Amino acid sequence: MRRLTCVGLAALALAGLVAHTAHSRTLKDVKPHRGVTAAHAMPIQGIDVSYWQGDIDWKKVRASGIRFAFIKATEGGDHVDPKFLENWEGARRAGIARGAYHFVYWCRPAHEQALWFMLNVPQDADALPPVLDLEWNSHSKACPKRVSRAVALEKIRTLLDAMQAHTGKRPIIYTDPKFHKDVLQGEFGEYHFWLRSVAAKPHLKYGDRRWAFWQFTMTGHVPGVKGRVDRNVFNGTEQDWNRVLRWLSAGQ
């Protein structure tokens, strides 16, 4: 996704003041953290969802000011999120830009996971680039193990290549500070990143890593979604986002 641009948070805070006034009454955080205050003022707000959010009223989500959604599609090599297709079509009908994400299982061969993603995710030209969700899954009962950095990087490259071949778009990499430090530091500079940082601005956790999306809270409140939901922001201005949408509408 070559036209996504990365801009400084300080400039974005100024650019997003008007947008912040419009959506601040509806988009909230159940447990706000002062370290991520800047994210609330950024103009292009989004969420990420899975079946845990239950039934979503996507029209209300869009009316609240949400502009994009990353939707869980697949996990490992044999699991499809039960709400994926419902959320996928619901977001589309509401006019919310959406992208599908795959959650990696480190004990499953990469080629099996790649095939599973390709079998279950539509090749919609208007979708955001797919996301590869990279984190250790130590709490999993089925697949808690870690692999070496070399093995992890090999699996990641296989999956990224397959996802790009399937969608025609270079994938976005989602990660957290631990996995980034263990595996991704210094790698994949040609990819856009979606970074989790719920207590500080991304540069304080990831150094000079450039990023396109920031997951800044897991305790968000958004009309149309029952309970808590992850909230995210796009690292760009309104004009930058409009360029992304034009890029998508052109089927690039």
The span from the CA of 93 to the CA of 80, in Å, is 21
Active site residue 135: yes
H or E element: which one contains 119?
A: helix 110-120
Tell me the chain's radius of gyration from C-alpha atoms. 17
CB atoms within 10 A of CB 47: 26
> Which residue of the set 75, 135, 187, 190 is catalytic?
135
CA distances from 58 to 4, 99, 102, 178, 239 (A): 25, 15, 21, 33, 24
CA distance 192 to 2: 9
Catalytic residue set: 135
